[in-house]
Structure 1
Amino acid sequence: MTTASTEHLRTVLFNRIPEVTLVFWVIKVLSTTTGETAADYLIDQVGLGLTLTALLMSAVLTIALFVQFRTRRYQPIAYWTVVVLVSIVGTLITDILTDELGVSLWLSTGVFLVLLGATFGIWYAKERTLSIHTVFTRRREAFYWLAILVTFALGTAAGDLLSETIGLGYLVSTILFSALIAAVAVAWRVFGVNSVTCFWIAYVLTRPLGASIGDLLSQPASHGGIGLGTTVTSVVFLAVIVVLVGVLTVRIRRQRAEAEGRIATSPLDQLAEPA
């Protein structure tokens, strides 16, 4: 087998996070939107309030992370459950800083940007890579999830800064972040910009994009939205996520069966499970 083929098989068989495909980005944006609207629903409709909601969802996230770290390799249900919960907790962290502690969005955006840079710096210093294609160990996965949490908090702060503080509005913010993500895709595909760099930039940008879409759909017309409400928006998007995760579960099982069939007659030392 070629080196590229071997690396692909290792990713399918051993990686603890999914391959980056169009479906990956669709679910990412949907989970972000669900996180935004679900947090609003729990705070306002259920009446839990910001602090209690944050504590409750942090506890649920801790349980979900425990399950995720117990898996030997990528499992769609466990992985995307964590993503949805991280999106909620990341949103709540920024909301607490802004609404409860009075921290300006300018400051929180800057702080989260520094924290993300520090996370990447320590991650690279320890692992010598930031690639998501080789998250074979739990230590690399721990760095990955820490970076994901910070990107959600950063994206929330940056998105709120543009849509509320600067006053762009939900529709303009949606268009702006969509255009920025498209520019990143062009930079990667056409100009050959480093794929890892482009991935993390796009990952940060999908957070405010999803939040802007969620607010655009759920907020009343008087606030610049369409007025579907947080309940309808959350349920519809969560249903789509469940369907797509089901599709991914079937797909990864098929890919692993094919990969295991291919290595049956190949040198196994090249494909040994990473320690």
Structure 2
Amino acid sequence: MNILNKEVLSKVPEVTLIFWIIKILATTLGETAGDALSMSMNLGYLYSTGILAIFFSVAVIAQIYTKQFHPIIYWITIIATTTLGTTIADFVDRSLGLGYAGGTTILLTLLLASLFTWHRTMGSIAVDTVSSPKTEVFYWVTIMFSQTLGTALGDWVAGTQGLGYLASALIFSCILCAIAFAYFKTKISRVYLFWMAFIFTRPLGAVVGDFLDKPMSEGGLGLDRYMATATLILLVLFFIFTFKQKASKKVH
């Protein structure tokens, strides 16, 4: 076999409709689970962040040390990033007093710096190149920043701008639809469009999660955070086990 044509599987799933459905569910789950830990359990943002940072570290190490793509390990790691992102964003925005605008600006800068460094070091930020430990480190650091940024951005739009959860969810849904249109109808880089979509699914999940568990007096449904989290976990598992995902592949 000509090695130049050999297909090499990456350790992340193919980007399909199911991928995006699970991603949105996972980001919504991260919001309700993060709120359950920091608010319902009264642990606060700092202690919750410390606990979730350990969970995130263990998940990333497990993901990196696996030899091939495993859906459960991958999505557990995604959930770890989005849950940790929730408490970090809340800590930065509220406890440190930077506000949503300040937190969003800092996190956007960190995200862009991560993507820039990744591209300069590895030559590509395409997800189908994520097959080595070094690339995976860049991948998960970038995702961590994107998840945290998305939380801050969702809170900023829904809260500070006074749009509410449903209107904010509609705005972010429209943005994602515009990105999908660009994917199918334009020649804009698929890599750039992927990261744009990945970033904007997070604030969508954040505002949907807040809509589910925030009190009715604040515009939410007032659902129990534990029940909402458990329901979302079951939905994620349903899609993982019902729709078998394949690893992305690249050609050398």
**TM-score for both structures, normalised by structure 1:** 0.85
The amino acid of 2:136's aligned partner reads E
Give the superposition deviation at 1:110. Answer: 1.1
Q: Give the match for residue 136 of structure 1.
A: 131
Letter paired with 1:188:
Y
Q: Distance in 1 between matches of 2:135 and 2:153?
A: 26
C-alpha contact 1:173 1:212 (8 A) present in aligned 2: yes
Q: CA deviation at 1:161?
A: 0.8
Shift of 1:64: 1.1
Over aligned residues, Cα RMSD in angstroms? 2.3
Alignment partner of 1:177 out of 163, 172, 175: 172
Instruction: Work out the percentage of aligned pairs sharing the same amino acid.
Output: 34
Q: 2:29 aligns with which of 31, 34, 45?
A: 34
Match of 1:80 in 2: 75
Distance 1:29 1:56 in 2: 23
Where does structure 2 lack aligned partners over 5 or more consecutive residues? none
Measured in 2, the distance between the counterparts of 1:241 and 1:66 equals 22
1:169 CA drift (Å): 0.4
SS in 2 for 1:102: coil
Shift of 1:251: 4.8
C-alpha contact (below 8 Å) 1:220/1:229 kept by paired residues: no
- Say which structure, 1 or 2, has more relative contact order (CA 8 Å, 6+ apart): 2
Matched positions, count: 251
Task: Give distance in 2, aligned partners of 1:145 and 1:24.
Answer: 17
Does the alignment pair 1:51 with 2:46? yes
Query: SS at 1:170's partner residue?
Result: helix
| Most deviating of 225-234 and 121-130 | 225-234
Q: Which runs of 5+ in 1 are unaligned?
A: 260-269
Residue deviations 1:48-107, cap 9 Å, x none?
Answer: 222221111111111111111110121111110000011011111111112211112111
Distance 2:83 2:178 in 1: 27
Q: Does 1:22 align with 2:10?
A: no
* Cα distance change of structure 1 residues 251 and 61 upon mapping to structure 2, 3 Å threshold: closer
> Could you give the per-residue CA deviations for residues 229-261 of structure 1, whole angstroms, max 9, x where no partner exists?
31221111110111222235x554xx89xx9xx
Give the Å deviation of 1:33: 0.6
Which residue is 1:69 aligned to? 64
Residue equivalent to 2:55? 60
Larger Rg, first or second structure (1 or 2): 1
Query: Which residue is 2:208 aligned to?
Result: 213
Find the aligned partners of 2:240 and 2:223 in 1 and give their Cα distance.
Answer: 24
- Aligned letter for 1:238? I
Secondary structure, aligned partner of 1:108: helix
Q: Which residue of 2 aligns with 1:117?
A: 112
Which residue is equivalent to 2:144?
Answer: 149
Amino acid paired to 1:198: L
Structure 2: distance between partners of 1:61 and 1:230: 21
Whether the aligned pair in 2 keeps the contact of 1:119 and 1:147 (CA below 8 Å) is yes
d(CA) in 2 for partners of 1:231 and 1:136? 35
Equivalent residue in structure 2 for 1:127, among 104, 122, 139? 122
Ranges of 4+ aligned residues in structure 1 off by more than 3 Å: none
Any conservation in 2 of the 1:163–1:173 contact (CA below 8 Å)? yes
- The residue that corresponds to 1:228 in the other structure is 223
Contact in 2 for aligned 1:23/1:244 (Cα 8 Å): yes
Q: Equivalents in 2 of 1:251, 1:185: separation in Å?
A: 20
Question: Greater strand percent: which structure?
Answer: 2
